[in-house]
Every structure is written in structure tokens, then in C-alpha cells.
Amino acid sequence: MILVTGGAGFIGANFVLDWLRDAGEPVVNVDKLTYAGNAATLAPLDGDARHVFARVDICDRAAIDALLAAHRPRAIVHFAAESHVDRSIHGPGDFLQTNVVGTFTLLDAATAYWRTLPGEERDAFRFLHVSTDEVFGSLGATDAAFDERTPYAPNSPYSASKAASDHFVRAWHHTYGLPTLTTNCSNNYGPYQFPEKLIPLMILNALAGKRLPVYGDGRNVRDWLYVSDHCAAIRAVLERGTPGATYNIGGWNEQANIDVVRAICALLDAQRPNPSGASYAEQIEFVKDRPGHDRRYAIDATLIERELGWRPAETFDTGLAKTVRWYLDNAKWIEGVTSGSYRQWIDRHYA
């Protein structure tokens, strides 16, 4: 079996659902269930003996040791993190704790466990660390996209904490020989994304008749990848990646934020027309910029295509249409996440 951390979050849950649909190999899903973790996302796995859920903090060494000893996974796929840049600006402490101390704790526990494995199992073991393109900093309009040799230049508390965790993973491979793999991926979107992030926030605000808050001039660029494509890339790296290597993952799909928001409005205008007859685009409002806002991210995903044969299956048009449809069709899931602490966050951040 494999052990997944953060498997109740957006990408982790998509990974677990896809994995159990396609591979069938059991999963131990380790998640603390912070505000971003949602057991409802995993409801399709209720009663599935291949899915074992453990509500555990990755900083809890004794609990991680016990899970490794009990389940003896052949691999760890590490998604668990504090993941929202704006929250890292308001409160960086949790980011250091989970992203840095948590990753260190897992690496140390994994190394102790890996050393106990017999020869062949030891050779086959993998620790896959899921990271971000934000560790590379910000690109100018004409700069070449980030590749695996781009120097690290993190700019936010979030990206600094992810960069630190990447360095620990590198060091654990170099010093102790742990068979690690690191992936640095661009912006994901798709089903089950918590509506603090751009795409689901805009969909839900539009439908609720609220303003669509676009930071700064709206010309910041992100490279969007549909979440199931990211999950497929992780599976390819896990099975065929070279231990110690890092792989950049991206959608070959750079979009300015304002264009993304307008595309969402156009899809909603067609699929759920505003009763007033107005376009949802009329709700767009340019607001104060994010402090230290990175201007442009772009991933050169040549290496993973050449070495592992992975390319995204979705285009932005198909992926965004599926995503908007999913949010229109899943009111119950949305209701579950848009109560309580989510509302407090929205009130505080956008006040």
C-alpha cells in the first residue's frame, strides 16, 4: 500500500480518488483535517476497505511512526501543507510548522522506517514530495519559463516554507540516501478546491451576486493545470521517476487573472444566466493588490514529457468548463465548506 498525507485536501483527495479508481492498491490517508481538509470529499470511499483514514498531524512523530509500522507502505506521497498565499501573509506561523517542521518530521520518520526494510523493498521505496512552482519566484513578461535548474527565489511566507521543505527533501536524499522525488507544479484547478482560491472563489461569488475581487491590475499570470492531470503526473513520477530528481509539472497554459475571471463569467452566463439579465462580468472589481504579489509563473514541463511521457490531457477550455459545471452541480459539498471559519476568513481578508 501507499501512505498519502493531506489526502482530504483539494489535490490530495483528487489523487486518492483517482488512485483507487485506477490502481486499486490500498491507501493510508493521513490528514489533520484543518479548515482545508474535508472528509465529505472522501465520502465516495465510505465502506471501501482499501482506504484507511487517519486523522493525524504530520508533526506528530510518534503517530507517524506508528502508522508506518502498522501499514508498512511502499511509498509516501506527501501533499499535506498550508497552501494559501494570502493566509501565509496574515499568519505565517502555521506555514513554518506544517510545511517545514511537518516535512522534516515525515522525512526523519520515513528514513528510520526505510532503513528497517529488507533489500528489495528498501530499493523500491519512494518518498514523493509535492511542491510548487512558487519556490522559483516571479518571472518578467519575456523571461523563459521555470525549468528544473531555475534557482530558488521564494517571495511569500508560503513559498519560503515550501522552498525550505524542498531543501530538506534534497538533503535527506543527498545525506542519508532516502529515495526521494520532488515535483514542482503550477496552479491547479478542478473539483473539490476550497473556495479561498481564485477559480472557485470567483464561481461562488458570481453566483451569490457578490463582487469578484481581482487583485491589482489583473494582469498577473499563472500557468493553470487541471487537477487530474497533476495527479497523473504524480503517478508517473512515483512509478518511473529517478530517485533524487525533481520534476516540473505545468499546463503549458499561461493566463492573466482577469482573462480567467472573464472566462468564468462567460461560462456562467451561458450555463446559469443571471436572472437580472446582466453578465456576471459586471461584478468584477479591481481591489488592493496582494503584498509582494508575484507577477508571472510559467513552467517548462519538457523534462517530465521527455523522461516519463507525461503531458496534460485537458485544455484550459475543457478543464474550466468541467470545473464550472462541477461547482454548479455540487451545491451540497459547497454548502459544507462555505460555513463557519470560511466566512470569517472572507470577511477579514476582503474587508
CA-CA distance, 90 to 157, in Å (whole number)? Answer: 10
The three-state secondary structure class of 247 is strand
Q: Which does 64 bind (CB under 5 to 8 A by kind): ligand DAU, ligand NAD, none?
A: none
CA-CA distance, 348 to 351, in Å (whole number)? Answer: 5
CA-CA distance, 127 to 166, in Å (whole number)? Answer: 12
Q: Which does 194 bind (CB under 5 to 8 A by kind): ligand DAU, ligand NAD, none?
A: ligand NAD
Task: Write phi, then psi, for 344 (nearest 5 degrees).
Answer: -60, -40
Smallest gap, in angstroms, from Cβ of residue 149 to ligand DAU? 18
- Where in 137-196 is the site for ligand DAU (CB under 6 A)? 186-187
Smallest gap, in angstroms, from Cβ of residue 192 to ligand DAU? 14
Options 158, 226, 247, 280, the catalytic residue: 158
Please list the alpha-helical segments (H only) found in the chain.
Answer: 10-22, 61-71, 85-90, 93-95, 103-115, 119-124, 157-176, 198-207, 227-240, 257-271, 302-308, 316-329, 331-337, 341-350
CA-based nearest residue to 1, from 51, 43, 60, 42: 51
CA-CA distance, 282 to 278, in Å (whole number)? Answer: 7
Q: Which does 85 bind (CB under 5 to 8 A by kind): ligand NAD, ligand DAU, none?
A: ligand DAU
Residue 274, C-beta contacts closer than 8 angstroms, at least 6 positions apart: 268, 280
Options 31, 82, 133, 166, the catalytic residue: 133
Can 133 be counted among the known catalytic residues? Answer: yes
Q: Which does 33 bind (CB under 5 to 8 A by kind): ligand NAD, ligand DAU, none?
A: ligand NAD
CA-CA distance, 9 to 67, in Å (whole number)? Answer: 20
Place of cell 455540487: 330
By CB under 6 A, residue 84 contacts ligand DAU: yes
Q: Which does 10 bind (CB under 5 to 8 A by kind): ligand NAD, ligand DAU, none?
A: ligand NAD
- Where in 273-292 is the site for ligand DAU (CB under 6 A)? 290
Smallest gap, in angstroms, from Cβ of residue 162 to ligand DAU? 7
Q: Which does 31 bind (CB under 5 to 8 A by kind): ligand DAU, ligand NAD, none?
A: ligand NAD
Smallest gap, in angstroms, from Cβ of residue 295 to ligand NAD? 17
Smallest gap, in angstroms, from Cβ of residue 81 to ligand DAU? 7
Distance of CA 40 to the CA centre of its chain: 18
Question: Stretches 71-79, 109-117, 175-183, 212-220: which one binds ligand DAU (CB under 6 A)?
Answer: 212-220
Options 57, 134, 254, 314, the catalytic residue: 134
- Residue 182 host element (H or E): strand 180-185
Can 86 be counted among the known catalytic residues? Answer: no
Site residues (vs ligand NAD, CB under 6 A): 5-6, 8-12, 31-34, 36-37, 57-59, 79-83, 98, 102, 130, 132, 162, 185, 187-188, 194
The single-letter DSSP state of residue 296 is: B
Q: Across the beta sheet with 75-78, what order do the strands follow?
A: 51-55, 27-31, 2-5, 75-78, 126-132, 180-185, 246-249
Strands 51-55 and 225-226: unpaired
Residue nearest to ligand DAU (CB): 132
Can 247 be counted among the known catalytic residues? Answer: no
Residue nearest to ligand NAD (CB): 9
- Count of residues touching ligand DAU (by CB under 6 A): 19
Return the amino acid letter for 148: E
Provide the annotated active-site residues.
Answer: 133-134, 158
- Binding positions for ligand DAU, rule: CB under 6 A: 83-85, 132-134, 186-187, 197-198, 201, 213-215, 220, 222, 257, 290, 297
